Amino acid sequence: MRLFKIISVLTASVCLFSCTVHPESSLPESSVSQLDLVRRSESIQPEFDSQTEAASEYTPLNFSEPVGMWFPYMDYESYMYGKSSDEFRSSVREMFAEAVKKSVNTVYLHVRPCGDAYYSSSVFPSGTYLDGDYDPLQIMLEEAHGLGLSVHAWINPLRCQTTEQMKSLPDDFIVKQWTETRTGSYVSIVNDRYYLNPAYDEVIDLICRGVDEIVRNYDVDGIHIDDYFYPTTSHEFDKTAFAVSGHTDLSQWRIENCNRLVHALYESVKRVDSDILFGISPQGNINANYSSQYADVRQWAGNPGYCDYIIPQIYYGFRNETCPFEETLAQWEALTTCESVSLIIGLAAYKQGQQDKWAGTAGELEWIENPDIIKQQIELVGSSSADGYALYY
């Protein structure tokens, strides 16, 4: 049991998203054996062009009782776009200092949200909001580490640019080349946005190359992915790959593809430095992870070789009719059985004072009527077997 300090809700105004609550559904059988997964992953070990040793002698900084905070890319427009490096640094320094005052010790920084890079990359094009001649990740690392914060580089592996954005990108960008020759296989379009298809070794190799250049070239303390796995349940997304896969169960096949991706990312990080952490933040509804995104959270939290920590987004109030907080917390405690995997609880600080239209009749107004929900949830997490918590504002 661990007792955490109760921290007040930060007053910073940040634009945030929430996970859609999906109806309950039955879980599939165990997706794929770990031994079989490792054997299959051997075929996608990338031949990296970068040097075999990490770029520095930096020792990653991480905490046994993390108090985390996410910094999403949606806010970059306000403090990055059109700003000089000094202006950007000043804003970042102020935000991180405020986080430290609130007991935060770990930050998750969005560095590749949509097939783009908010760092110096030879694999992905520059991010939409980066129009200055500076390296955002390097500046954020310097400011965060200067305050004793652990920094995890946050990426979305599969989500890429919109169809319109893709038109203006450099022709040497490999994903753009795939949109011209591999649409329907390596990449597919969902709601006017391109997504990579994890069914292909070449796709997983590209994603791992992107992670490799981060962990080799920057003093990050971790790599972090969230709940953007398969963007749709439609069979049209990957029907070409599935048709030649030899499988008959589409859902099970997609789950195995996600497992291969996650295992490959974990291995990419550990090949560079075993002390750098790799973590996953799936949606809080356990069953919906399987039914909507094909995310095998039981495998990841129950076996070594997938992640060092898992942060379920338990973005629910106590009266939520589908996933009440206390019950959902207990489910994740029971699910996280691997001794090498830490359980960190994601909390929806952004919901405080807001109507929760997905919570059902009983919970719709809970966040308005009870101003202490986050405080109460932190107390409950502190008395649980979880190792820490993280806040999304």
CATH numbers and ranges of domains, the chain: 34-158+197-391 (3.20.20.80)
pLDDT of residue 15: 34
Instruction: Report the alpha-carbon angle 153-155-158, nearest 5.
Output: 165
* 329-370 tens-digit pLDDT: 999 999 999 999 999 999 999 999 999 999 999 999 999 999
* 116-157 tens-digit pLDDT: 999 999 999 999 999 999 999 999 999 999 999 999 999 999
Q: Are 182 and 197 in contact (CB under 8 A)?
A: no
Question: CA-to-CA distance for 220 and 272, rounded, in angstroms?
Answer: 12
Is residue 91 pLDDT above 50, yes or no? Answer: yes
Instruction: List the single range of 14-28, 212-226, 265-279, 379-393 with lowest mean pLDDT.
Output: 14-28
Is residue 12 pLDDT above 70, yes or no? Answer: no
Which residue, chain included where needed, has tokens 């329907």? 184
pLDDT of residue 19: 37
pLDDT of residue 44: 55
pLDDT of residue 235: 97
pLDDT of residue 45: 53
Would you list the DSSP string of 162-222? Answer: EHHHHHTS-TT-HHHHHHHH-BTTTEEEETTEEEE-TTSHHHHHHHHHHHHHHHHHS--SE
* 247-304 tens-digit pLDDT: 999 999 999 999 999 999 999 999 999 999 999 999 999 999 999 999 999 999 999 9
